Amino acid sequence: MVDDLDSVLTEEQRLIRDQARRIVRKEIAPRAAAIDATGEFPRENLRLLAEVGLLGLVMPEECGGSGEGVVSLCLAVEEIARACASTATAFATQTHCAYPILMAGSDEQKRRWIPALASGEKIGAIAFTEPQAGSDISAMSTTATRREGHYVLNGRKVFITNGPEADVVVVFASTDRSAGKKGFSAFVVERGAEGFRAGQPEKKMGICGSGTCSMEFEACELPESHRLGAEGDGFPLALRFFDRSRPGIGALAVGIAQAAFDYALAYATERKQFGRAIAQFQAIQFMLADMATAVTAARLLVYHAAAETDRASRGAGAAASMAKLLASDTAMKVATDAVQILGGYGYTKDYPVERYMRDAKVTQIFEGTNQIQRLVIARSLLAGAATLGRS
C-alpha cells in the first residue's frame, strides 16, 4: 500500500523515497520510542538526514540543496513520520523556515541562511502564532518599528515548532499597524540577537521530541538586511507559504496513519480470541478495510496537492487545504481505530499505537486548524462558482 505511487513517481523521486526508507528503518525507527519518552530533540536524526542530502531537498543546488520539489519533500516526510513523527515535524519545519527566504529573500540572504539550513548546521523555525492570533493571523500584534538603518521588534509568539533549538527564525510582524494585514512584513532573527528570548519547551500530548516554545521580542534590533522582501509583503508571503507547507503536513499525517494501520494489521493476524485470529472476524476486517481505504485516499490527495504546488497551479492552495484536512482527519481516525483493535494493550505504552494517536492529533491543529481548512476550501469553491456565473 505504501508503494501505490510507483506508477506516477519519477525515477529520482522513487530513489529519494527509498533512500529515506532505508535510513529511517536503520537509524530513526529504533530511537523513536525513546525520543517520545524523554522529549529529546532529534538533532542526531536531523544530522543523519542532512548527511544523505534529505534535509536540503527543496533548497537550490547553489545553496547546498538538491533543488527538488514539494512531491519529493512529502515522500521523505511520510517515510520519516511512519517511524518518528517528532523527527518528521522537526525535519519539515527546517524546510518551512527556508521557504520564506527562498520565496522572498535576495540572493545575498539566500546565500547567508539557506546553506546552513540545508546542512543542518543551523536549526530553523517560523513564527506566526501569538496568544491572540492563532487561526486569525491577521490579528498579529508583534511590531517591527523602523528606525535609522534598522528595525526594532516587540511582541510575543507562541507554539513555535523547533523554537527551543532554533538558530534562525523567520518572524512575521507589523511594520504599519494602521494598514492592518497589508502592513505585515517578514524578518529573519538569529539566535543571540539582543532582545530575543526563547521560552521553555511546552509539555505536549504528542510529538514530544519536537520542541515547541514561546518567543519574546523586547526592543530586539535587526538590520534592514534581515527583512525579507518589501515592507507590507508579509501577508501575501504567509499565504503562499501555507500553500507550500500544508502538503508536507498532510504527508506527515499519512505517515502516522500508515504506521498505525501496519501495526494494527499485523496484530490482528496474530492476536487470537475464541480460538482464531481476530482478523478472521468480520467486524475487524471491516475496520481494516476502511482504514486501508482512507490511508490510500489521503495519500493520493496529498501527492496530488504536492504536484499542483510544484506546477504552481491556480488550484494549488485549495488542494493543499483539502490534503491537509483529509490526511490529518484520517490519521486521527486510523490511529484511534488501531488502539481499538489492540484493545487494552493499545492503551498502554508497551505498544506504539497510543503514541501514533497522540502524535496524530496535532496534525489537525497546526498549519491552520481543520476548521480553517474548510473555510479556505469553501471560499475557493465560492470564488470559482462566482467566476462561472459571470462567464
State pLDDT tens for residues 24-57: 999 999 999 999 999 999 999 999 999 999 999 9
Digit-coded pLDDT (tens) for 309-359: 999 999 999 999 999 999 999 999 999 999 999 999 999 999 999 999 999
**pLDDT bracket for residue 387 (50, 70, 90):** low
**pLDDT bracket for residue 2 (50, 70, 90):** low
Strands annotated E in 139-183 = 143-147, 150-161, 168-174
The helix (H) or strand (E) run that includes residue 309 is helix 282-310
Q: Which amino acid is at 245?
A: S
Place of cell 505504552: 349
Give the per-residue pLDDT at 4: 73
Digit-coded pLDDT (tens) for 187-235: 999 999 999 999 999 999 999 999 999 999 999 999 999 999 999 999 9
Cβ of 265: how many Cβ atoms within 10 Å? 17
CA–CA dist 369, 127 (Å, integer): 16
Answer for the pair 295, 1: CB distance below 8 angstroms, yes or no.
Answer: yes
Residue ranges of alpha helices (H) inside 120-227 are none
What is residue 223's three-state secondary structure?
strand
Task: Locate 240 and state its grid cell.
Answer: 503562499
| Cα-based torsion angle of the residue sequence 368, 212, 153, 130 in order, rounded to the nearest 10 degrees | 40
Q: 82 pLDDT exceeds 60?
A: yes
Q: 389 pLDDT exceeds 70?
A: no
Answer for the pair 33, 84: CB distance below 8 angstroms, yes or no.
Answer: no
**pLDDT bracket for residue 135 (50, 70, 90):** confident
Centroid of chain to Cα 343? 30
The arithmetic mean of pLDDT across residues 160-168, rounded, is 97
Give the per-residue pLDDT at 384: 79
Cβ of 281: how many Cβ atoms within 10 Å? 14
Residue positions annotated with a catalytic role: 367
Give the per-residue pLDDT at 97: 97
Angle between helices 11-23 and 70-83 (to 10 degrees): 20
CA–CA dist 370, 350 (Å, integer): 31
